[in-house]
Structures are given as C-alpha cells and as structure tokens.
Amino acid sequence: MGNGGHDGGGLLDRVAAAPISWGVCEVPGWGLQLPVERVLAEMRELGLTAMELGAIGWLPTEPEELRRTLDANGMRAVGAFVPLALHDARCRSTSLADATTMAELLEQVGADHFVTAAVSDPADWQRPDVADSGWDHLVGMLDEIDSIAQSHGLRQVLHPHVNTLVETAGELERVLEASDVALCLDTGHVTIGGADPVQLAATYAERVGLVHLKDVRTAVAERLNAGELGLMAAVQDGLFAPLGAGDVAIADVITTLEGQGYSGLYVLEQDVALTDGAPPSGAGPVRDVAASIAYLRSVAAPRATLRNGDVTR
C-alpha cells in the first residue's frame, strides 16, 4: 500500500500516511509527540509504505540522514506541508528562500508534492483582512512557488486549511479562479470552511493534484466556527474522526474523483492530539488509522467488482 505512484493503480495502492494521524504536530501544547521509530513502525504494520514528512524537525532535516531514516523503515516520502507568507510583499524574499530550501530537501529524498499553505506568518497563524493588492501578490507568489517546485521535480498543490488565508469556500474559489495552482483537496478542512468536497471534486477534478482524506464531526466543527473552540482544542475534542465515522461523504468524494480519472495519491490525515501520555503498544492512533484503512477497503471493493465485471443483481 502507498507506493506513491500515479499510474491509475488500485485505490489502496495509492494511500499514504501522515504523522499528524499519530499526533505529531509542531504547535506548542498540541500534545505528546511520539518517537519516530514507533510511528514509522506502526505505519508499516498497517501496510503503509509512503508518507508526508509531517512537522518540520520531527524527522531529520538533513537529506542523507532523512533518506537513511526512511529507507531503514521501508518508507518513501511523497511530500511535505509548507506554510508560507504569500500575501505580504515584505515577506517575498524570505518565503521564496524557505520554499527553495524545502523543495531542495524534497527533491533529494525523492518526493513529488510541495503542499503550500498560505499563512499570515509561518510562526504565528492569524487571519488578517487582506487587501486586493495582497490577494494579487498571493496569486503571483503561487506562480513563483510553482516555478520553484517544478525546477525540483515537484508539483505544488495549494492546501485550504483552517486558520490560513485560504480557509473559507469564498477564499478558495477566489484563488482557484485567479490562478492555475493545483489543489490539495483536504476533505476535512474544506468542509469546515463551508465548501462541499464532493462538489469540488466534481468541478475541479482535473486540478486536484493530491487528496487529504479527513472526516469531520460537524457538531465539533460548528463549535470551532462559532469561536467556542480553537483548532487545537477542537482536535482534542474529536473534531476529526476515522474515515466513515464522521459526517463527510468520503466515499462520494473518492467515487467522483476516480470517475473523472484521478490517479493520484490519497493521504490519510486524521489530526489527533495525545493529551494523556503515550498509549500502550498497539493502541492509540494506530487503531484509528487501521479503521480508516478498513473503510477505504470497503470503498475500494465495489470498484474492484465493477472492474472485473462481476456485478450481482
């Protein structure tokens, strides 16, 4: 599972992991950060062999050391989440330098996706009012990041995300209409932002370069959107559920994309926070990821049956 290819192979062969599903996040106070060895071992036990890098600094950032760590655990890097300040001309040189540094690392470890998040400040995410000139600069920066990514053999995909400048359905539409950037369709974050992930899959299938599969408990999302909870508190309160246990039409998103020829990766990314210490071996996040894989297997089975022409009436 998770060979990272784009050859139109079986659904389960195109599934990758994300460390955030094990609670690995760079936000201070988020929760316990499990050690690399345990997380990668549990990924492999589940049959996952491809992954995004997760929080910068959790895995080694020196290319050769990172490659050795991945190889020793039978894992392949497929990309990384990169928060960049794109709306502010004063940040242009720093953002381009940061993007280049990450693109070089990703190229050296054989990854193929550069996942951009448009933030106010990589170290302090806020949602300021952005003038039209700021939006124009953001779109122009996406073009520049595209060029950097392509020069390193990567495809940039824009990740709509809570607490970034591209969070709401309206903000996402604005950027997609103004630019040619490919989309990371995160089924959870677009749902929280008020967009319909099935409709996005139907409308923008040709621009979807990567999918983050994330299920959402809408009752918790409503509290987040109402300002009753911050994102970290919402995650700790169960905002994201194993696939099939929340309120997002995950199967419909997959069916819609596959029906329009999507042959890229699906990254399992159920954000969790470990606030009660390290779970015993075989318990904790690995069980939720296993439940998500079982759900995907149930989604894939009918498609395999149809391909084989064995349709029961």
Residue 139's pLDDT is: 98
Given a cut of 80, whether residue 41 has pLDDT beyond it is yes
Residue 312 scores a pLDDT above 60:
no
Residue 166 pLDDT level (bands cut at 50, 70, 90):
very high
What contacts 54, CB < 8 A, 6 or more positions away?
18, 19, 20, 24, 80, 81
Tens digit of each residue's pLDDT (9 = 90 or more) over 131-164? 999 999 999 999 999 999 999 999 999 999 999 9
Query: Which residues touch 75 (CB under 8 Å, ≥6 apart)?
Result: 40, 43, 44, 48, 49, 50, 51
Amino acid identity, residue 280? P
| Band (308; pLDDT cuts 50, 70, 90) | low
The C-alpha torsion from 64 through 70 and 76 to 77, rounded to 10°, is -60
In this prediction, residue 45 carries a pLDDT of 97
Mean residue pLDDT across the chain: 93
Q: What is the pLDDT of residue 29?
A: 84
CATH 1.10.40.30 fits 11-303, yes or no: no
Mean pLDDT of 98-113: 98
4 neighbors 265 (Cβ within 8 angstroms): yes
User: Binning pLDDT at 50, 70 and 90, where does residue 4 land?
Assistant: very low
Closest CA to 251 of 288, 295, 206, 186: 295
Q: What is the pLDDT of residue 307?
A: 59
Q: What does DSSP say about strands 182-186 and 208-213: parallel, antiparallel, or unpaired? A: parallel
pLDDT of residue 130: 95
Angle between helices 36-45 and 285-307 (to 10 degrees): 30
Contact present, 85 and 122 (Cβ < 8 Å): yes
Structure confidence at residue 123 (pLDDT): 87
Residue 302 pLDDT class (50, 70, 90 cuts): confident
**pLDDT at residue 2, rounded to an integer:** 59
- Asked whether the beta carbons of 214 and 269 are under 8 A apart, the reply is yes
Q: What is the pLDDT of residue 10?
A: 86
- Residue 205's Cα: distance from chain center in Å? 17
Give the whole-angstrom CA distance, residue 199 versus residue 74.
36
- The closest of 290, 243, 304 to 11, measured between CA atoms, is 304
Question: Across residues 288-305, what is the average pLDDT?
Answer: 88
Q: How much is the pTM?
A: 0.93
**291 pLDDT tier (thresholds 50, 70, 90):** very high
Distances (CA, A) of 116 to 50, 75, 84, 93, 156: 19, 22, 7, 16, 7
What is the per-residue pLDDT across 81-93, written as a single tens digit (0 to 9) for each?
Answer: 999 999 999 999 9
- Give the integer Cα–Cα distance in Å for 224 and 193: 11
pLDDT at position 141 is 98
Of the pLDDT bands very low, low, confident and very high (cuts 50, 70, 90), residue 5 is: very low
State how far the Cα of 251 lies from the Cα of 247, in Å rounded to an integer. Answer: 11
Whether the per-residue pLDDT at 27 is higher than 90: the answer is no
CA distances from 115 to 168, 211, 235, 242, 283 (A): 18, 11, 21, 22, 30
Residue 76 is encoded by which pair of tokens? 């392949």
Query: Of 124-128, 179-183, 202-206, where does mean pLDDT reach its minimum?
Result: 124-128
281, burial (CB in 10 Å: exposed 0-12, middle 13-18, buried 19+): exposed
- The whole-number pLDDT of residue 313 equals 33
pLDDT reading at 9 higher than 80 = no
> What percent of the chain lies above the pLDDT cut of 70?
94
One-letter amino acid identity for 210?
L
Three-state helix/strand/coil letters over 216-230: ECHHHHHHHHCCCCC
pLDDT digits (tens, 9 = 90+) for 224-262: 999 999 999 999 999 999 999 999 999 999 999 999 999
